[in-house]
Structure 1
Amino acid sequence: MIRILCFFFVVLLLGAGFAWLADRPGDLVITFAGMQYKVTLMVAASAVVAIVAAVMLTWWIIKSLVASPYALRRHFRARKRDRGYQSLSTGLIAAGAGDGQTARRMIGQAQKLLNVDQEPLIKLLDAQAAMLEGRAEDARAKFEAMLDDPETKLLGLRGLYLEAQRLGARDASRHYAEEAALLAPNVEWASSAALGQKTTHGDWDGALLLLEKQKATKQIDKEKAKRERAALLTAKAMETFDADPMSAKTIAVEANKLAPDLVPAAIIAAKALFQQGDLRKGSKILEYTWKKQPHPEVAETYVHARIGDSAIDRLKRARHLAAMYPHHPESSLAIAHAALAAGELKEAREAAEAVLRTAPRESAYLLLADIEEAQTGDQGRVRQWLSRAVKAPRDPAWTADGYVSDRWAPASPVTGRLNAFEWKVPVEQLGPVIDYRGDFDEALATEPVRSAPPREDLKPLIPAKSVTAETLSKVRLDKEDILDAEVLQLEPRAKASNQAGPKSAQSDGNERIASVLPPFQEQKVDSKQKDEDLAFPVPDDPGVRPEDEAERSGKKFRLF
Structure 2
Amino acid sequence: MIRAFVFFALLFAVALGLAWMADLPGVISIGWEGYVWEQPPLVALLLLCVLLGLFLGAVWLVLTILRSPKIASRFFRRRRRDRGYQALSSGLIALGSGNARLARKLGLEADKLLGREPAAKLLLAQAAQLSGQHAEARQRFEAMLDSPETRALGLHGLFIEAERQGEPVAARHYAEEALKSQPGLDWAGRAVLGYQAVANDFEAAVATLERNYTAKLIDKPTYRRHRAVLLTARALEMEDRDPDQAMALAKEAHGLATDLVPAAVVLARLATRKGDIRKATKTLEAAWKLAPHPDLADAYAHARIGDSALDRLKRVKTLAQMRAHTATGALAVARAALEARKFDEAREQLKFALTTEPSRGAFVLMAELEEAEHGDRGRMREWLARAVQAPADMVWMADGVVSPDWRPVSPVTGRLDAFVWSRPVGPTPDAPLVEDALFDAPLLASAGEAGVSVLAAAAGAPAMGQAPDRAASQATTPSSAPASDMASGPAPAAEIIEAEVVARPKAAEAARPSPAVEGATPASAARAGSAETASVTGKESTGPAYKPPRIGANLPFTAPAGLAPGRMPDDPGPDADPDEGPTKAREPGPAFFG
TM-score normalised to structure 2 length? 0.70
Letter in 1 for 2:110: A
Name the residue aligned to 1:46. Answer: 46
Residue 399 of structure 2 is aligned with which of 378, 390, 401? 401
1: CA distance, partners of 2:182 / 2:163 = 20
State yes or no: 1:370 paired with 2:385.
Answer: no
Name the residue aligned to 1:516. Answer: none
Name the residue aligned to 2:332. Answer: 334
2: CA distance, partners of 1:243 / 1:305 = 21
- Distance 1:221-1:30 versus aligned 2 partners, 3 A rule: farther
State yes or no: 1:423 paired with 2:421.
Answer: yes
Name the residue aligned to 2:154. Answer: 156
Name the residue aligned to 2:106. Answer: 106
- Distance 1:52-1:197 versus aligned 2 partners, 3 A rule: same
Tell me which of the two structures has the higher relative contact order, counting C-alpha pairs closer than 8 angstroms and 6 or more residues apart.
2
Name the residue aligned to 2:95. Answer: 95
Residue 315 of structure 1 is aligned with which of 309, 313, 316? 313
Name the residue aligned to 1:243. Answer: 241
1: CA distance, partners of 2:353 / 2:3 = 85
Please report how far the alpha carbon of residue 400 of structure 1 lies from its aligned counterpart in structure 2 after TM superposition: 0.8
Letter in 2 for 1:369: A
- Distance 1:549-1:410 versus aligned 2 partners, 3 A rule: closer
Please report how far the alpha carbon of residue 13 of structure 1 lies from its aligned counterpart in structure 2 after TM superposition: 4.7
1: CA distance, partners of 2:265 / 2:91 = 56
- Matches for 1:123-134 after TM superposition, within 5 Å: 123-134=121-132
Name the residue aligned to 1:391. Answer: 389
- Distance 1:44-1:238 versus aligned 2 partners, 3 A rule: same
Residue 304 of structure 2 is aligned with which of 283, 303, 306? 306
Please report how far the alpha carbon of residue 424 of structure 1 lies from its aligned counterpart in structure 2 after TM superposition: 0.5
Listed one character per residue, the Cα deviations across residues 274-315 of structure 1 (whole Å, up to 9, x for unaligned) are: 344433343223222212221101111111112232322211
5+ long unaligned stretches in structure 1 = 435-448, 478-492, 498-520, 529-533, 552-560
Contact 1:433 1:450 in 2 (8 A): no
- Matches for 1:159-558 after TM superposition, within 5 Å: 159-429=157-427, 432-433=430-431, 452=460, 526-527=537-538, 549=566
- Matches for 1:43-82 after TM superposition, within 5 Å: 43-82=43-82
Contact 1:226 1:259 in 2 (8 A): yes
1: CA distance, partners of 2:99 / 2:252 = 53
- Distance 1:54-1:371 versus aligned 2 partners, 3 A rule: same
Please report how far the alpha carbon of residue 206 of structure 1 lies from its aligned counterpart in structure 2 after TM superposition: 2.1
Please report how far the alpha carbon of residue 33 of structure 1 lies from its aligned counterpart in structure 2 after TM superposition: 11
Q: Give secondary structure in 1 for the equivalent of 2:397.
A: strand
- Distance 1:47-1:525 versus aligned 2 partners, 3 A rule: same
1: CA distance, partners of 2:99 / 2:2 = 48
Listed one character per residue, the Cα deviations across residues 301-349 of structure 1 (whole Å, up to 9, x for unaligned) are: 1111122323222111101011112221111111122222223233223
- Distance 1:187-1:538 versus aligned 2 partners, 3 A rule: closer
Contact 1:384 1:544 in 2 (8 A): no
Listed one character per residue, the Cα deviations across residues 441-481 of structure 1 (whole Å, up to 9, x for unaligned) are: xxxxxxxx987489xx989979xxx99x99x969879xxxx
Contact 2:389 2:430 in 1 (8 A): no
- Distance 1:51-1:430 versus aligned 2 partners, 3 A rule: farther
- Distance 1:15-1:253 versus aligned 2 partners, 3 A rule: farther
5+ long unaligned stretches in structure 2 = 433-456, 463-467, 490-507, 514-531, 540-545, 552-557, 569-594
Please report how far the alpha carbon of residue 414 of structure 1 lies from its aligned counterpart in structure 2 after TM superposition: 0.7
- Distance 1:474-1:394 versus aligned 2 partners, 3 A rule: closer
Q: Give secondary structure in 2 for the equivalent of 1:317.
A: helix
Contact 1:381 1:543 in 2 (8 A): no
Please report how far the alpha carbon of residue 352 of structure 1 lies from its aligned counterpart in structure 2 after TM superposition: 2.7
Contact 2:378 2:567 in 1 (8 A): no
The number of aligned residues is 488
Listed one character per residue, the Cα deviations across residues 97-154 of structure 1 (whole Å, up to 9, x for unaligned) are: 2223222322343344231xx1123322322333343332222222222222222222
Please report how far the alpha carbon of residue 522 of structure 1 lies from its aligned counterpart in structure 2 after TM superposition: 7.8
1: CA distance, partners of 2:300 / 2:166 = 42
- Distance 1:473-1:26 versus aligned 2 partners, 3 A rule: farther
Listed one character per residue, the Cα deviations across residues 474-533 of structure 1 (whole Å, up to 9, x for unaligned) are: 9879xxxxxxxxxxxxxxx9x999xxxxxxxxxxxxxxxxxxxxxxx98996448xxxxx
Superposition RMSD in Å? 4.5
1: CA distance, partners of 2:223 / 2:83 = 47
2: CA distance, partners of 1:288 / 1:102 = 62
Please report how far the alpha carbon of residue 242 of structure 1 lies from its aligned counterpart in structure 2 after TM superposition: 2.3
Q: Give secondary structure in 2 for the equivalent of 1:147.
A: helix
2: CA distance, partners of 1:163 / 1:44 = 80
